[in-house]
Structure 1
């Protein structure tokens, strides 16, 4: 995620500060401030508020709410290129992508890139390129995704932007993995992980670990895959990033199916699907969608109707917190 602080303590501190502000002001007061700024006062101020809030909307699962406010703010404020406009467009693109609206995410991402380029904002440009790399990947436009990814990587390397470098490597490796180029993707994920750890970026570290877990699973290295994914799950849990937890749960569910426990695997897959609906956050990475769907088919085909019913009931009766706590303790 672009714009995150460069250390674990500052990341957690930022989340805590956002929570503190929300508690002090109250959701109703923030909504009132946005509504007043956009409808009756200063739409530029409203855009600034909305741009600053997009990350909170994402991490707390308020994707639809965030998209609505950012759309309203972008429509109300002047179209003049400004840093808040570029940031709001970038946030709107991320929330659109998270909700599965890849066409809107691509268009908003291109607008964000254009704003940052016109402003001569190099960090913003790198962020926009990295975001577009992920969106194009979801659209299976792998050539476009690699172009964005390598473009962002080149700029980040020129600027010595360590987080930008790690993010670009992680995103580009994801595209290579989607294209089946595991021999290239694996080492690039390892390099991204090393940089994320060097700069103490736990969110990036979790993403790289989860990606490495997928590569290991594809290569049949189930124990290594489980280790990567449990480590990612613990980090996402520490950071209270629910979407990341769901990603890791889905990965561990697939390992359960491969390891001969289809009932547990199906239960976890159904639980994860429920959480995605609640979050309004769909899975959009092509190879991850294919792997998840394949695992669910395999689980259902190997279970009786009664066993499937029990798995459905178990998923309905299990909270995400309970599933996460158990998975963090298990070997697979």
Structure 2
């Protein structure tokens, strides 16, 4: 495809009717610039009542944003997450709705303002060098001032107040949760330890029934928690740290462990908390002995000390040392020997 000059015009001549677009055997004359179509004024442009109504609608949308922010603040203090799933669900729902209305109000108000109150005349300008002349730059500043004047924000006191109020209050939805952490418990050492301890029985999640080694067949996977979890001061927090995946392999398939004697007759136990960003690792492939994290596909080899074989995780899943008691129940030899989870304050990854 090429553009060739016709009728004696030199390249670069912009006479639209004298340039032809040639493709193979076909020649198509370049069509003239159609320009802008006739401008159709909006109702708010010709009807003062409609203009005032549109302004009130924009103010109402900004007011919706303000109410959303206030609702977020009230929910933050009146509906703390608590220790139960129901209280956490209620708190998150209230905070989410408050944040949604705070953002939605600002967004809809800005769009409605632009579509109904600001200048809607189409404009076009030719491309020019990246750095405009001083005269053009001065004209651009003048255009910006004209735009501010055209929006009539200076003459619309209620609208301006609603805009400023909604934008001023909205940052509370971001700052308040951060400020609220001041004065909270910053003892990070408690994250180094879980409820697992010597002779603590492994129980099935969520029933809490102790499990015997004989109950675990080769190739099976069991989700376990420490015995007595429900009696902990904060059971949900403790469960989030202590959840473990129990897998039984053929002892001949075990290549290595993180500690000598940490498994029992092919049964190994690893933290379910992915060492990448903390998602639950729970997808087990029996033939390869691989554990997959569904969030970012980090893959761990259970037969080789849960070492990382693929994905963004940087370290193996921590292994829980286990054995059996006199009755054949699986019990922990100790807590994990390193902090569970993705990262830690004292650890460089």
TM-score, with length taken from structure 2: 0.18
TM-score, with length taken from structure 1: 0.19
- Tell me which protein shows more helix as a share of its residues: 1
The structure that has the greater radius of gyration is 2
Q: Which has the higher contact order (CA 8 A, sep 6+)?
A: 1
